[in-house]
Chain A
Amino acid sequence: MPILKREELIEDAAWTLDVPAPERSHPALRQACCLCGEDEGEPVAVGEDFDDRERRGDSFLVLHCRACGVAYLGRPSSGHVGAANEGAHTNAGALLRHRRTRTLLGRELQGRSVPARVLVIGDAAAASSFATLLSERKVAVDTLEHIDPSSTGGRIEPRGSRYDVAVVIEEAGRLEDPVEALATLGRGGCTRLVLVIDNFDARSCRVFRGRHWVGYDFPRRLFWFEPRAVRALVNRAGFELESLRTVSAPDRWTRSTHRFLRDWGAPPWLANRFAGRALGATVLASALEALATLSGAGSVLVATCRSRADEPTPVST
């Protein structure tokens, strides 16, 4: 009967398994609340890149800063740094398919003075969709896929123009420093800002928060915001919040449910009922989302803000 002592087990280096070289954490990527800088958030979710699980296979942690209402991505491995700039999987395009959302955004822009130039920032599908909508209304529109303050020298003027209004669609959560990026817009001359962003306090988020919420979009987003965090964000960036409302996005329910079912090994016939626009799932999701929106917990936040630099100078007496 072969018996080995513990010391022999430890000393026998030939037995040690081959382990791939460990990766360093990426030193530049902060793992903290983008508003207060604290990094003592509570872990609220562990998720994966559900759109591409085969290729990545990594898991991601979401930590929640209860003080600010910001959730942030835990430290990813170096292989995933830069993934936030991959734009293939954002949901903005789907969001803007909803007529009510488009109408609301149009109203936000045109209810006041007619803007001369609008900059739409978001992934290509979202930006072009919204740009088309505005162009129909005789508004000059430019689109920009990402805000990258480092490459533009702190100015968002992709075509040498100044913009009256910036519409930022789901971009704020993908920026390493959203406060600075939005402030850059203000410094670039944008007097109004419309921020469209997933609601981390939405009913759909609360139900699927632990893992499957479609708004996570791992690993392409770094931050998620509750309504109070959006208020603080725009305020820090030099804007004054004019209105903040939640809008309906039933696809957050269906897509999250689809992820949940797929992840838990549900039969494809069941999971696929939530994949596309199956009538039953859409009706159910619309009903749930309508109820949530009525109670102020809709899936998407739309914040309309005005630059504080645009405020009229008080008349001296």
Chain B
Amino acid sequence: MTAANGKARPPVVVLGAGLAGLTAARELRRRSVPVRVFEAGKQIAGLARSFRDEDGFVHDFGAHFITNRLAAAIGVGSRCRDVKHYGETVLLNGRYYPYPFGLMRNPRFLASALASRSMRRSAPPQSAREWYITNYGHALAEQVAIPLVESWSGAPASELATSVVPPQIDRGNTHVLRLKLASRLSGRAVANGYSREKPESAHVWHVYPEGSLATLCEHLAADLDGVIQTESPVEAILVEDGRAVGVQVKGEVIEASAVISTAPVHVLAKLVRGTDAVAHFARFRYRPLLLVNLRFHGRGLLGDVVTWTPERHLPFFRITEAPVSMPWLAPDGMTTLTVDIGSETDEPLWRMPEDQLAELCVEHLQSFIPGAKRRFISARVLRTTIAHPIYLRAYESERLQLERGLPVRGLYSIGRNGAFAHILMEDVYWRTLAQMRQLVTELSGATSTRAQAPAPAVVM
């Protein structure tokens, strides 16, 4: 692609070689747009990697939901295995309730949910707390939904915007039931509540790449010869006259026709030079998370693959036993429980030594996993300071502005962290494609606009 003056157009610069960055780069390259990718780490794929230890356990960094539709779109369908089963339960007072309909077995929850449905709503809810009470009733909201969202976010539900409630949670019972039935009949983990961008159906289910989660990114990167530069953190994004014009990497200024950032928005705000239009994103917060991988003898120790634990005396809010749905992740007769603990970095839990943290978890697990201490083998701990966005009401209007695009021309913030959105891998992929098509259109428009008149530049 060339500019109107016949000079080669400078490349589009992409910050980050994770799923979003690589999808963006491949899409641009496919459309003949020159592109360069700068990755701060030594490897591509960020934390979307898998590791096998000497005992035969496979570790992923956090949960990754990949569908057969995403795998087919990227072109790695033949390298993925079907996930046979996926289910969630809620653990309350030592009893498992399958999510979501099992909770209705509790008469108090059922009564409160029915009562809330029958009440006339005077005004739309202003906070997550109001949303849950309005839609679920007091009992279900106070005992399950609100404790979970508060542990997940690290903020009171009254301070959280309603956007913390994922839109797919309100899809309708018939839809959820239909997908659950399809999952049961087909023997596959039909994706149920894991896609916002594309419709869910009985034919879209969870898969897992053979070998490693990195398969997806490595496949995307295979089309990007000579484009990706690792160990090259972008130090600054340069903006002139309200337009991104380049980046600074290792002290060198690199001209760019557009800049695509996958960095968390509070980091992006600090990278941008030449304008303060995005400075307010610096106060956006992400939730730090402790992921404690505990190995046990036995398998099927919990009610289902994911167990939500809303009881406030427990230090964790979610436990995932991935080998139940993906047996290859642990040796036969053993399993891994990943315990999610929300904690700010200045809290005691965050600073707790790993062995103490593991002991604390096992101690609590003992109350609902018989013989947990006896079964326990070992533990590994992952700390991530940026697990997911916190949807505070305090900056909801700015977040909505971010959804519409950044106020700097030629600057895009994409991906899960860049969009400040709790979206999963398939949504990241489809959103990124759509954004890159928009960018290409704008770059083409910029060419023709400049060809007709020298100024002003293209308007986003």
Contact = CB atoms under 8 A, between A and B. Distances in A.
* From B77, B223, B382, B437, residue with most partner A Cβ within 10 Å: B77
A46 B381 contact: no
B102 interface: no
A17 B219 CA distance: 15
Contacts of B53: 15
Contacts of B69: 43, 46, 61
Contacts of A23: 75, 219, 222
Contacts of A56: 78
Contacts of B355: 1, 3
Contacts of A20: 79, 211
Interface residues of B, number: 49
B354 A60 contact: no
B52 A17 contact: yes
Interface stretch (A71-79, A194-202, A273-281, A308-316): A71-79
Contacts of A74: 72-73
Nearest to A58: B78
B113 interface: no
A19 interface: yes
Majority secondary structure, A binding face: loop
B380 interface: yes
Interface stretch (A5-13, A122-130, A157-165): A5-13
Contact of A22 (B72, B218, B383): B218
A287 B76 CA distance: 40
A264 B215 CA distance: 27
Contacts of A16: 49, 51, 212
Given A17-B211, A22-B219, A3 B75 contact: no
Contacts of B434: 40
B378 interface: yes
B212 A3 contact: no
B203 interface: yes
Contacts of A6: 61, 381-384
A46 B72 contact: yes
A18 B211 contact: yes
B186 interface: yes
A264 B187 contact: yes
Nearest to B53: A15
A103 to B, nearest CB: 37
Contacts of B219: 22-23
A18 B210 CA distance: 10
Interface in A3-59: 3-6, 9-10, 12, 15-20, 22-25, 40, 42-43, 45-48, 56-59
23 contacts: A3-B355, A4-B380, A5-B381, A6-B61, A6-B382, A9-B61, A9-B380, A12-B51, A19-B218, A20-B211, A23-B219, A24-B222, A25-B223, A42-B198, A43-B73, A46-B69, A46-B77, A57-B77, A74-B72, A79-B78, A210-B201, A210-B203, A264-B186
Interface of A: 1-6, 9-10, 12, 15-20, 22-25, 40, 42-43, 45-48, 56-61, 74-77, 79, 210-211, 263-265
Interface of B: 49-53, 58-59, 61, 68-69, 71-73, 75-80, 185-187, 198, 201-204, 211-212, 214-215, 218-219, 221-223, 354-355, 358-359, 378-384, 434, 437
